[in-house]
Chain A
Amino acid sequence: MTTGAGRYRPETSLLWLAGLLLLLGAIVYAVDRGGNVYFLPDSLTHGEVNPVLGSLGEHLPSLVHTLAFIAITTAVLWPWPRLLPVTCLSWLAIECAFELGQIDAIGDRIAAGTPAWVHGVPVLEEIPDFFAQGTYDPLDVLAIGLGAIVAYLGLRWIQKGAI
């Protein structure tokens, strides 16, 4: 017989792992990239970009974000391990779509066409800035792909071991 807590142990571990990965991404933004992003408070914006991680810091958030949300989704879908490939591919597609949306010609169109009602809505109001002022970088796509592959291999191993 399994206790309630024990029954969800792998899922809980994955959620903790995802939380740590997202925290790592946030720290990279705060320390390595000037803190000038929407989700961080203004008080953390220091403007000076002195990367501790070098060019790695430019792409690490893309990797860990992909990894983290595949981990969260896998935790939710833990009883159905066969869905892992679909999970990885779905997040790969979502993350890549947002990255490709930052290509200048596409991003400007999305920004200009963003519906008016998003203005003033927390987070959603950032849509025009995200697409128009974000920079498309093929290395980010690579980082996302790497994140998806690492997530697939790692989570498959975890599923088999059922930690």
Chain B
Amino acid sequence: MSQSSESSFPSRILLLVPVAVLGVLSIIATGGGGGGDNGGGGNGNGNGEVPPTILTSYNFEIGSVVPQSQGGLEVEANEFTVTVDFGDTILGSVNLDVGTNNQVTFLSYVVYEGSDFSITVSRTQTVLDGTFTVEMTADLNADLDAEPTSGTFEVVAGDETATVNVVANGVELSLNGGAATFYTWDDYDNILGDPMAEAWQQRAALAGGAMQFIFEQMFAVADRLDELEASVEGPIATSCDMFDGTPPDGVLGQGENVLTWLGATSADSMLGSIFDWEFTDCWTSDNDQLANGLIQFQNYIEEVNASNVLVRIGFGPTADMDGGIVFVGWTLSDTSDDQGVYTIDHSGDLTISGGFSLMFEAM
């Protein structure tokens, strides 16, 4: 080692500190350097407010709109009424991807073991009338817009316990621990309309259908969460699918849904906000369903921690206010297509009322 090198030893070693700091800071400043998806919303170098960090997974809780109440969702059709009662007990988690401008895409979800709810069926004039409970006995795992890949739940009515076990490409149904029968997803869906199916099988199918409906509505609402702030500036209209033929009588060729902010209970934040989500002839080509009516989001709750991380978001009751996702005569109609002419058989209409609270919380 040269003499000059020895004399420069302390200063050179001290230089390592800023080099290390610079190295680490330059990694952080890449906002997720490497790996393709780079995490949006990280451009905090502007003068504007830094948007909160959205985590990649959150727990969720679905409960009743009114605290300590068994109120729930009611689906009314021509020949039956189905009421789902939540007891603040559907718990699970969601995985999501956060893109540019904090735009969230939900990827998958889990419904935790122990979650339960009850279903009351009325007006069928069959043995199906009555109340039964649904309880997850093993975590239900599913990707968004796909059938579940695993999970088990029990449907209990009196002394009958039906077990629904999700397996590859379908479910296995069994009664009171007896032999299990495999059903493809289509066969499982069709049990409800099968006059030969036994009551326990119909309850098992109805429980699955109810869960599917609840989670469809949950994600439909969750998909709008990242638009709430923008809706304060003015209503946000979204075009629905356009009929690729002649629309049903009196129905628009292309309807829309409009998200409107009605106001907040807090003067300086969005907390307690109420939003109207109004559907007008909103047709979805994927399932040939036409939606009309109103869904109201009541009592917005958002919590961002001191590190600017979003730790809680949703709609639910607080001590002084009811809250949740409330359906106000929201109607779904099935459309059918005959050589490009669409019609609606209104005898199959479903009218949804009531609602549920929905809260996402950091894990």
A interface vs B, CB < 8 Å? 7, 22, 29, 33-34, 36-42, 45, 47, 58-59, 61-62, 65, 69, 72-73, 76-77, 79-80, 91, 94-95, 98-99, 102, 104-105, 107-108, 111-116, 118-119, 122-130, 132-137, 139-140, 143
Contact assessment for B36 and A133 in the assembled complex, using a CB-CB cutoff below 8 Å = no
B363 beta carbon closer than 8 Å to chain A: yes
Q: In the complex, how many angstroms separate the beta carbon of A136 from the nearest chain B beta carbon?
A: 6
Chain B residues with CB below 8 A from A47, complex form: 100
Q: Known contacts A76-B16, A133-B40; is A128 also within 8 Å of B33 by CB?
A: no
Closest-by-CB residue of A relative to B43 is A42
Chain A residues with CB below 8 A from B78, complex form: none
Q: How many A-B residue pairs have CB under 8 A?
A: 198
Partner of B305, one of A73, A116, A137: A116
Contact assessment for A58 and B33 in the assembled complex, using a CB-CB cutoff below 8 Å = no
Q: Known contacts A37-B31, A127-B28; is A116 also within 8 Å of B307 by CB?
A: yes
Q: Known contacts A36-B43, A133-B32; is A95 also within 8 Å of B362 by CB?
A: no
Residue pairs across A and B with Cβ atoms less than 8 A apart, 14 shown, are: A29-B30, A36-B38, A37-B42, A38-B43, A38-B44, A39-B29, A99-B35, A113-B307, A123-B29, A125-B308, A130-B31, A132-B98, A133-B32, A140-B33
Q: Is the interface of A mostly helix, strand, loop or mixed?
A: helix
Bound-state CA distance A139–B45 (Å) is 29
Please tell me which stretch of B2-10, B123-131, B148-156 contacts chain A, meaning at least 4 of its Cβ atoms lie within 8 angstroms of it.
Answer: B2-10
Contact assessment for B56 and A137 in the assembled complex, using a CB-CB cutoff below 8 Å = no
B57 beta carbon closer than 8 Å to chain A: yes
Q: In the complex, how many angstroms separate the beta carbon of B305 from the nearest chain A beta carbon?
A: 7
Interface residues of B in 302-344 (CB under 8 A from A): 305-309, 311
Chain A residues with CB below 8 A from B1, complex form: 79-80
B196 beta carbon closer than 8 Å to chain A: no
Q: In the complex, how many angstroms separate the beta carbon of A120 from the nearest chain B beta carbon?
A: 8
Bound-state CA distance A39–B307 (Å) is 19
Q: In the complex, how many angstroms separate the beta carbon of A5 from the nearest chain B beta carbon?
A: 14
Q: Which of B1, B44, B50 has the most CB of A within 10 A?
A: B44
Partner of A37, one of B9, B33, B309: B33
B285 beta carbon closer than 8 Å to chain A: no
Contact assessment for A42 and B24 in the assembled complex, using a CB-CB cutoff below 8 Å = no
Chain B residues with CB below 8 A from A130, complex form: 27-28, 30-32, 39, 42
Partner of B38, one of A80, A111, A132, A134: A134
Q: Known contacts A112-B309, A128-B308; is A76 also within 8 Å of B28 by CB?
A: no
B15 beta carbon closer than 8 Å to chain A: yes
Contact assessment for B24 and A79 in the assembled complex, using a CB-CB cutoff below 8 Å = no
Contact assessment for A107 and B56 in the assembled complex, using a CB-CB cutoff below 8 Å = yes
Closest-by-CB residue of B relative to A140 is B34
Q: In the complex, how many angstroms separate the beta carbon of B31 from the nearest chain A beta carbon?
A: 4
Chain A residues with CB below 8 A from B5, complex form: 79-80
Bound-state CA distance A136–B97 (Å) is 13
Contact assessment for A134 and B35 in the assembled complex, using a CB-CB cutoff below 8 Å = yes
Q: In the complex, how many angstroms separate the beta carbon of A43 from the nearest chain B beta carbon?
A: 9
Contact assessment for A134 and B25 in the assembled complex, using a CB-CB cutoff below 8 Å = no
Q: In the complex, how many angstroms separate the beta carbon of A56 from the nearest chain B beta carbon?
A: 12
Extra contacts besides A38-B45, A72-B23, A112-B311 (19): CB < 8 Å: A29-B30, A34-B100, A61-B30, A61-B33, A77-B12, A80-B5, A94-B24, A102-B35, A111-B55, A119-B307, A125-B44, A129-B41, A132-B56, A132-B309, A133-B37, A133-B39, A134-B32, A135-B35, A137-B35
Q: In the complex, how many angstroms separate the beta carbon of A21 from the nearest chain B beta carbon?
A: 12
Chain B residues with CB below 8 A from A39, complex form: 26, 29-30, 45
Chain B residues with CB below 8 A from A125, complex form: 44, 50, 308
Chain B residues with CB below 8 A from A58, complex form: 34-36
Chain A residues with CB below 8 A from B45, complex form: 38-39, 41-42, 122
Q: In the complex, how many angstroms separate the beta carbon of A67 from the nearest chain B beta carbon?
A: 12
B54 beta carbon closer than 8 Å to chain A: yes
- 5 nearest CB pairs, A to B: A134-B32, A133-B39, A116-B306, A137-B35, A79-B5
B46 beta carbon closer than 8 Å to chain A: yes
Partner of B16, one of A33, A62, A73: A73
